[in-house]
Amino acid sequence: MPGWGQKGQERLAGARVFLAGVGGLGCAAGVYLATAGVGRMDVCDADAVERSNLNRQFLYTPRDVGRPKAELARDRLAALNPSIEVSALVTEIDHATAPELIAGADIVLDCLDNLETRFALNRACIAARVPMVYAAAADWTGYLSFLKPPETPCLECFVTRTPPPVEPAIPGCTPGTLGALQAMEALKYLTGIGNVFAGKLLVMDGAEPRFDVVAVDRDPSCAACSKLKAK
Amino acid sequence: MTIYLRSGGKLRDQLKPDVDEYTRRVEVDGDLTLKEILTTLGIPLAFVAFAFTDGMLRRLDYKPSDGETITLQPPVSGG
């Protein structure tokens, strides 16, 4: 494939990815990153597998219910590609823990399931100047963007409103699609191939079906990133 | 003036489309912001995460023009 080759493979082998959450998004993203040969992956999730996860979190089986997702994901991703290193972090991500958790990562994938934790991860990525690939999904709807302020907006520039307390059910193919796209963004960034969704938001409405790509500007008054100046 | 509001996901339940499955035609006074239009329609702002038109994300202080179609998307955070 043009641009990949031995050099691209070596870049991936030397890369380190932080996977924040191994639910529906993280299972899909993790599989494609592992099989592509990303040399080191840190998978972080404080939750245990629940039966209701199994329609979309395909790294787990009914026998895994009650066991920590991060440890299971580590074992199964490492089994897919024994030449990579995968570590499991069974811990919560918050404003206190996020900076240390992502330290050393070349890129962070936001595969989380709530806005509060996303904002903590966003702040840590801004401080560390590490790019973050945002995605979120519910029912047939999904969003994705590549965030690397000050070159792009950060998450708090354009995501402000929290979803209703009860989100709709989610078929596995929705986070699976978005998670695969997150992996694609990471692989492009790490190999230097093509262009990422920088300054752009992908809006997927799978029910209609419709995919829109819209331009997103930085918010000059953003509490998280407005002090960063573009080069 | 007339504007068209296209809704995605669960927002369709709120917007009550009438042009097609996704779109509602709305007659509004000129010079209103999106926020004012949504408030007039009784759509809680918390149900709208993104609004866009012409390939650009718009904030709720955006003033649509006559005949414009605005796509509205709900907040989602699942993973």
**What average pLDDT score do residues A189-205 get?**
97
pLDDT at A102 over 80: yes
Judged by CB atoms closer than 8 Å, whether chains meet at B56 and A113 is answered as no
Average pLDDT, chain A: 95
CATH (domain of B40): 3.10.20.30
Count the domains in chain B. Answer: 1
What is the rounded CA–CA span in Å between residue A215 and residue B58? 9
pLDDT digits (tens, 9 = 90+) for A17-28: 999 999 999 999
Q: Is residue B79 in a domain? A: no
**What average pLDDT score do residues A112-121 get?**
95
Specify the pLDDT at position B51. 97
At residue A3 the predicted structure's pLDDT band, cuts being 50, 70 and 90, is confident
pLDDT at A104 over 90: yes
Judged by CB atoms closer than 8 Å, whether chains meet at A205 and B8 is answered as yes
- Chain B residues within 8 A of A210 when measuring between CB atoms: 8
Specify the pLDDT at position B13. 86
pLDDT digits (tens, 9 = 90+) for B6-58: 998 888 888 889 999 999 999 998 899 999 999 999 999 989 999 999 999 99
Residues B34, B64: contact at Cβ < 8 Å? yes
pLDDT at A166 over 80: no
Task: Give residue B37's domain range.
Answer: 2-73
Q: Is residue B57 in a domain? A: yes
Specify the pLDDT at position A162. 76
Pick from A79, A56, A38: which is nearest to A183 by CA? A38
Q: What is the pTM of this model?
A: 0.96
Specify the pLDDT at position A1. 83
Judged by CB atoms closer than 8 Å, whether chains meet at A167 and B45 is answered as no
Which residues neighbour A10 within 8 Å (Cβ) at sequence distance 6 or greater? none
At residue A231 the predicted structure's pLDDT band, cuts being 50, 70 and 90, is low
Tell me what percent of the residues of chain A surpass a pLDDT of 70: 97
Spell out the domains of chain A, with CATH numbers in brackets. 5-215 (3.40.50.720)
pLDDT at A200 over 80: yes
**Chain A residue with Cα closest to B52:** A214
ipTM of the complex: 0.94
Nearest to A140 among B9, B46, B75 (CB): B9
Pick from A178, A182, A108, A181: which is nearest to A137 by CA? A178
Q: Is residue B78 in a domain? A: no
What is the rounded CA–CA span in Å between residue A229 and residue A41? 30
The CA distance from B16 to the nearest CA of chain A, in Å, is 15
